Structure 1
C-alpha cells in the first residue's frame, strides 16, 4: 500500500510538473530534460516543483496578449512533448490499482521494461527535437535582433547623412547666391566696359576739351569786343538824342532866323553850328510835314521862290534821303537799339 501511495504521489508530482511546464515554459522543460535520465531524480525534481507552487497574477491586458500569442503561435510541438511525457509517466508509473493478469514473472518484466524504454526514448527524442526547435527560434530571434540593431544603425547613419546633406545643400545655396551675384556684377561690368570702350581716348578728349576752351575764350573776347562797340554806339546814340532834344528846344529861334529876307537884303553867312541846327530841325519837321514836290513848276497864282529858299529845300530833301537810307540799313537799325543783355 505504501508503494502504491508513493507511486500515486509521484504521478501527482509529474502532473504538477507538467502544469509548471505549461506556466513557466522553457525553464521547466529544461528541468525535465536535465532530470529525465533517472526516474528518481525526476521524481525529486517534481517533488520540489510541487513544494514550490507558482502563483501567477495577470491582468486582463496580459491575458489578452497571452491568448493572442497562443493563437498566433504554433503549439503542436509542445503538445507532442506533453503527449510523450504523459505516455512515459503512465508507463513508468502504473495506476495504483492495476489489472492483475496471470503471466510468468520473467515475461512480465521483459514486457514492462521494453515499453518503458521505448516511451523514454520517444519522450527524449521529442524533447530533443523540441529543444532544437527552441534553439532555432532563439537563433532566429537573435538574428532578428541583430537585424533590428543593424536597421537602427542604418537609420542613425541615414539621419546623420541626411543632416550632413542638408548642411551641404545650405552651403550650396549660399554659394549659388554668391555666384549669381558675381555673375550679375560681371554683366554690369561688361556693359559699363562696352560703353567706356565706345568713348574716345583720354588724349582725344583732352584735345577736344582744349579746343572747346579756346573757342570759348575766343567767343568771350568777341562778346566783350561787341559789348564795348555796343556801349560806344549807345553813347554816341545818346549824344545824338541829346543833341536832337537840344535842337528841338531851339526850334522856334531857328524858325525866326530862317524867315524870308527882303529882295534887296543880302543873305548873311550862316555859321556851321547854325546850319547843323537848321538841318536837324528840318529833319525833325520832315517827319510831320508832307514832302513838297520837286521841280521848278509854278502853279497858277503862286509866287516863285527865291534861290535861297530853293537851296534850303534841296538840302532838306538830301537829309531826308540820307535818313531813309540809314533806316533801311539793318546794321544801323541794330545799332540803334541796345542789346537785351546789357
Structure 2
C-alpha cells in the first residue's frame, strides 16, 4: 500500500513532502519467510547500530542547528565505532556458528551414511541369522528323528546275539535235514526188507500147497496176493509217515533243550514182520488142512481165512 514518507528537521518542524513510493505487497510465502527470519534472527544489535549511525549523522551534519561542541561529535563517533565493532564481532560469531553448524551438518551426513551402511549390514546379518536359524531347526529335527531311530535300534538285540541265533537255527536245520535223510534211508531199507518178506511169503504160499487147489476160485472173490501185498505196503508207508512226523516233532523239542531217546522204528517193524511170519505159517497150515478137506469131497461156500487179507502186512 502507498506510504507517505516525511522527514522531520532537527528543530521538529515538518520539512518539504517527498514523492510517494509504491511498495508491492508481499506474497503469503514471503511474509511467512520474513516472519520466520525475524523470529530466528535477533535484530536488536542492528537496530542499535542504525540508531548510533543516525545519531552521528545528525550531530555531524546539522547546518540548521547551532554549533555543537566538538566533544559531543567525537563521543557520537566513538559510540558509533564501538557499536560497529561489537556488530562486527557479532557477525564473526555468527559466521563461526554457521561454520560449526556446517561442520555439524557434514558430521550428521557422515553419521547418517554410517548408520545406513550399518543398517544394510545388520539387515544382511539378520538374513544370515534367519538362514542359520532354519538350518539349526532342520538339524534339530533330524537329530530328534535320529534319536528316535537310535532308541528303537537299541531296543533290538545286538549283532552277536542275532548271529548266534541264526547259527543255532542253521544248526537245527542241518540236524533236521540229516534226520530227514536218515528217516528216508530207513524207510527205503524197510521197503526193501518188506518186498523181500512179501516175495518169500509168496514163494512159501505157492510151494507149500497143491497147485490144483490153489487155482480154485472163491465165490466171494478172494483177493490176490498182489492186492494183499499192495495193501500191506500202503499200511507200512502210513506207519512210517507217522513216525517221520513224530521224529520232526521230537526235533523241535530238541531245539528247546529237551533230549529224549527214541526207539528205532526198525525194531518195531522187524518185530511186526516176525509176528507176521509166524502168523503166516499158521495160516499156511490151516490152508493145507482146508485143501485136504476139499480133496475128500467136502466143498463149502463159506469164506476162509485165505479169502481175507492178512492183518499185520
TM-score, with normalisation over the residues of structure 2? Answer: 0.48
Larger radius of gyration: 1
